[in-house]
Amino acid sequence: MAEQTPVDEMNYDALAQDALRGVVRLALERAQSPSGIPGEHHFYITFKTRAKGVSVPPDVIAKYPDEMTIVLQHQYWDLAVEPDLFSVMLKFGGMPKVLTVPYTAVTRFYDPSVKFLLQFEPPETPAEPVLTLTEAPKPTEPRPSGDGDGPKVVSLDQFRKK
């Protein structure tokens, strides 16, 4: 008789990933303190730019359409750490930009000062919507006679709530 592989109904891998993302949150909370990141510590945070909940300005996402790494060391502002995400202002080309990143979008957290690295499973990113062009339906009723192809004026009164 063949042995059955046990099923992990507790989903321990996901629980461990969530717990380790808590380490990222706690490190960012320390960085958020008035004294900033202590000592020589600094963070390289890699995340999926199109993951659910990520907010990145359009010009930045155009440069990093899939993934980007930010560095929190000397020049970052307005770091806000929340239970599920963080936001920070960084400069891109000299212009300040605010990024909002849920911890679930983070794929890598690295502090090179102590060679501390966490890697996470990448989140599922939504597929880009596919637009298909279809032929316009042919009219089934004949057009009213008159000046035919001229501009038409439609009153919106019939669609307004009364």
Q: What is the pLDDT of residues 80-101, one digit of tens each?
A: 999 999 999 999 989 999 999 9
CA–CA distance, 5 with 64 (Å, rounded to integer): 41
Separation in Å, CA 10 to CA 16, 107, 122, 123: 11, 22, 20, 19
- Domain range list for the chain: 12-119
Among 68-77, 109-118, 132-141, the least confident range: 132-141
Separation in Å, CA 98 to CA 23, 63, 93, 135: 22, 15, 13, 42
Superfamily of domain 12-119 in CATH is SspB-like (2.30.30.220)
46-79: pLDDT as tens digits = 999 999 999 999 999 999 999 999 999 988 999 9
Q: How far apart are the first and last CA of the chain?
A: 74
CA–CA distance, 150 with 130 (Å, rounded to integer): 34
The 77-81 sheet, strands edge to edge: 77-81, 85-92, 95-102
* Amino acid identity at 93: G
Q: For residue 95, which of 57, 134, 130, 44 has the smallest C-alpha distance?
A: 57
Among 33-37, 44-48, 75-79, 144-148, the least confident range: 144-148
In this prediction, residue 28 has a pLDDT band, given cuts at 50, 70 and 90, of very high
pLDDT of residue 126: 57
Q: Is the pLDDT of residue 106 over 50?
A: yes
Q: Is the pLDDT of residue 129 over 60?
A: no
**Which residues lie closer than 8 Å to 128 by C-beta, 6 or more apart?**
none
Give the count of beta carbons closer than 10 Å to the beta carbon of residue 102: 19
In this prediction, residue 25 has a pLDDT band, given cuts at 50, 70 and 90, of very high
CA–CA distance, 66 with 73 (Å, rounded to integer): 23
- Stronger pLDDT, 113 or 135, i.e. the higher one: 113
- Stronger pLDDT, 116 or 122, i.e. the higher one: 116
- Stronger pLDDT, 135 or 90, i.e. the higher one: 90
Q: For residue 24, which of 123, 124, 110, 114 has the smallest C-alpha distance?
A: 110
